[in-house]
A = this chain, B = another copy of it.
Amino acid sequence: MSNLAVTVYKIGGGIIDDAAELTKFLGLLAQTTGPKILVHGGGKGASAMMRELGLTPTMVNGRRVTDAATLDIVVMFYAGKTNKEVVANLQRLGVNALGLSGADGNVIEGVKRPVKEVDFGFVGDLTPASVNKNLIISLLQGGITPVLCPIIHDGQGQLLNTNADTIASAVAVALAPDAEVTLHYCFEKNGVLRDVNDDNSVIPDIDATRYEELKTQGVIADGMLPKLENAFAALHQGVSRVIIGHALHINSELRTVLCLK
C-alpha cells in the first residue's frame, strides 16, 4: 500500500445548494486521475424541509442542534437525497462512486457528544479509532470512489449527525500510514487570501514557519484560523499536504498548498 496516493476532497453546503455549480464540480472531479474520496456536507435543503414540516432548525455556534425529528430529516437529506444524487452523477461521468454513511461497513463509528453547556442532541464526535480504514482502502483498490456523507453511527444502533470537515480530516489522517494523502478543502474562495477582500491575493504556499508568521501578522484571522489550525493538525498527523481552494478550480494552480515544510 505504500505507493498508494489518494486525495480526499471535501465540499460544503454552498456548492451542494447550487445544482449548476455542483454539476460543474463533479465534472472537474471526474477529470482528476488517481484514487479519490469525496466527503460532502449538508446544505440548506434539510432546514428548508424542516420549516415546511413545521419544525424549527436550531444552530448553536454554527452547529445544528439535532433532536430526533431533526436527525430523521438530516439522515434523509444527507445520506439519502444528496449522497445518492452525487453518486448517480458521478456514475454518469464514469466515476465508480459508492455512497457511505459511517454506519455502512462500520466505516466511521463515533460517540454522541456529551452534554455540557449545550445539548446538541444526536450529534457525533469522532475518536482516533473512529475510521475503519481497511474498508476504504479495499474500495479504493477496487477502483471505487467512496462518497461520504456527514452521518455516522455509535455502534449501538444510533445514527449521529456530524461535520463534513471533521470526517474529511479524520479519513485523511487514518489513511496516512498507508498512503500519501492529499486533503483538498473546496470552498467559495480561491485559497488563503492575503487580503480577504481580494480573491486574487491567494498565498500559493504556506509551511509551518510561514503559518506562524502569517498569524503573527494578523493575515490569518477569523474564520480562516480554525480552518488552518485543523489543516496543520492533519499535517502533523501524517497527511502529506492540504489544499484549500475554490471548488471550481480543483485542477488549477490557483489555490493554497499547505505543508509542514
A109 and B138 alpha carbons, distance in the complex (Å): 23
* Interface residues as binary, A143-179 with B (CB distance below 8 Å gives 1, 0 otherwise): 0100000010101111100000000000000000000
Q: How far is the CB of A127 from chain B (nearest CB, A)?
A: 16
Q: With A101-B99, A104-B98 known to touch, is A79 a contact of B84 (CB < 8 Å)?
A: yes
A132 and B100 alpha carbons, distance in the complex (Å): 18
How many copies of the polypeptide does the oligomer hold?
2
A96 within 8 A of B: yes
A104 and B85 alpha carbons, distance in the complex (Å): 10
Number of A residues with CB within 8 Å of any CB on chain B: 41
* Interface residues as binary, A69-109 with B (CB distance below 8 Å gives 1, 0 otherwise): 00010011111110111011101100011111101111001
Chain A contacts to B: CB under 8 angstroms:
49, 52-53, 72, 75-81, 83-85, 87-89, 91-92, 96-101, 103-106, 109, 135, 138, 142, 144, 151, 153, 155-159
Query: Can you give 20 A-B contacts (C-beta < 8 A)?
Result: A49-B53, A53-B53, A75-B80, A76-B81, A79-B80, A80-B80, A84-B151, A87-B103, A88-B157, A88-B158, A91-B103, A91-B109, A91-B153, A91-B155, A96-B105, A98-B100, A99-B103, A99-B104, A105-B144, A135-B142
